[in-house]
Structure 1
């Protein structure tokens, strides 16, 4: 959940933000998780919904969720590019971008794994996608941000454990700015039906 480079406008209004987690749980400016290089499980789709993946430095493979190598579960899976597709669920810890390739093993035997992305949830804590935890690919109610210079903000942990102290907390999500409660000082574009996050000072 983070704003990797939201623009501040009048009254500290923000443009939208979506990101993949970096080492500090920050957004699109952070590192993207590595794409899987080959499917290893029996599913019809490489890393389909409810399947699990290993965590590796150069590749991620599909493994049984009960395996000791399993690190995260797919909570949503979409084809195409992350920037063009549906939003990941709010509890997503990180997004795994899957490049189109021709691995030695694939989901249907046609020699290709199509481009797509998997919304992943770690099997064990930490869960940077939880509200206020300071990470994840989306900004949701309960998340905190700090100003990052040049009209930008970044998400940070609400408990102050991040590299920067929180300055605003997203207190509500509404369809339009005029529905934000009194005391709102920051408007964050969240996407979806409730597209505006109402930020208050912390």
Structure 2
């Protein structure tokens, strides 16, 4: 094509600009998009964020809630709940001493007292587990913490007691299978003694928000 020098120079600049746009359009030699350019109909993929991790679990929190212990109350170890050694599950876990501390759930079967020690794995990696206690429930029956079961750290509605002398009563199994025969059953828990039913003949200290147990003879 014949043209004046000035016109040819302008045409060459226009062609160079068009060629540069084509090379930066995000297409290959066949005109297919690579999926990364803006406006090509495909959203950009955001790199996945970190996967949240559990705040508790076997080995991360020593006898945390829902974790399990092996057999034995004097000598015990934390084990996976799927282990054949697992005997009881943690219902609640508190620091400090059990006396004067937070009460265990009503159906707790027994309490594990955890003395301060330094195991290989602990809550925060400082090599120490503070003194505390764990409220435990057996993985399999019997459950002495159930109403009428004759055991557990707390006396609750449905439990039975017998007179142990000097104005003291102690819990025993309601079905009569324990060594001591049941004499009274706790039928209600109230805030004050006047709130007990008229059939009440014995008041039992329960603790908690409704500390008075109303018991009637069997």
TM-score, with length taken from structure 1? 0.77
Between 1 and 2, higher relative CO (CA 8 Å, sep ≥ 6) is seen in 1
Task: Tell me if 1:78 matches 2:94.
Answer: yes
The verdict on how the C-alpha distance between 1:58 and 1:143 changes in structure 2, with shifts beyond 3 A counting, is closer
Q: How far apart are residue 187 of structure 1 and its match?
A: 0.8
Q: State the distance in 2 between where 1:103 and 1:119 align.
A: 20
* Count of residues paired in the alignment: 162
Q: State the distance in 2 between where 1:200 and 1:56 align.
A: 35
SS of the equivalent of 1:73 reads strand
Task: Tell me if 1:100 matches 2:120.
Answer: no
The verdict on how the C-alpha distance between 1:139 and 1:101 changes in structure 2, with shifts beyond 3 A counting, is same
Q: 2:73, 2:112 within 8 Å by CA — same for their partners in 1? A: no
Match of 2:210 among 190, 194, 197: 194
Q: How far apart are residue 189 of structure 1 and its match?
A: 1.4
Q: Residue 143 of structure 2 aligns with which residue? A: 127
Structure 2: gaps spanning 5 or more residues: 1-56
Q: How far apart are residue 85 of structure 1 and its match?
A: 1.1
How does 1:60-71 map onto structure 2 within 5 Å?
60-71=76-87
SS of the equivalent of 1:178 reads helix
Q: How far apart are residue 110 of structure 1 and its match?
A: 0.8
What value does the CA root-mean-square deviation take over the aligned residues?
1.5
Task: Tell me if 1:172 matches 2:192.
Answer: no
CA deviation map 1:25-49 (0-9, x unaligned): xxxxxxxxxxxxxxx9322x21010
Structure 1: gaps spanning 5 or more residues: 1-39
The verdict on how the C-alpha distance between 1:165 and 1:57 changes in structure 2, with shifts beyond 3 A counting, is closer
CA deviation map 1:115-143 (0-9, x unaligned): 11000000000100000010000000000
The verdict on how the C-alpha distance between 1:179 and 1:80 changes in structure 2, with shifts beyond 3 A counting, is same
Q: Residue 116 of structure 1 aligns with which residue? A: 132
Q: State the distance in 2 between where 1:182 and 1:84 align.
A: 32
Which aligned segments of 4 or more residues in structure 1 are displaced greater than 3 angstroms?
none
Q: State the distance in 1 between where 2:73 and 2:93 align.
A: 21
Q: State the distance in 1 between where 2:74 and 2:147 align.
A: 29
Q: Which has the larger radius of gyration?
A: 2
Q: Residue 66 of structure 2 aligns with which residue? A: 50
Q: How far apart are residue 105 of structure 1 and its match?
A: 3.4
Q: State the distance in 2 between where 1:42 and 1:58 align.
A: 20
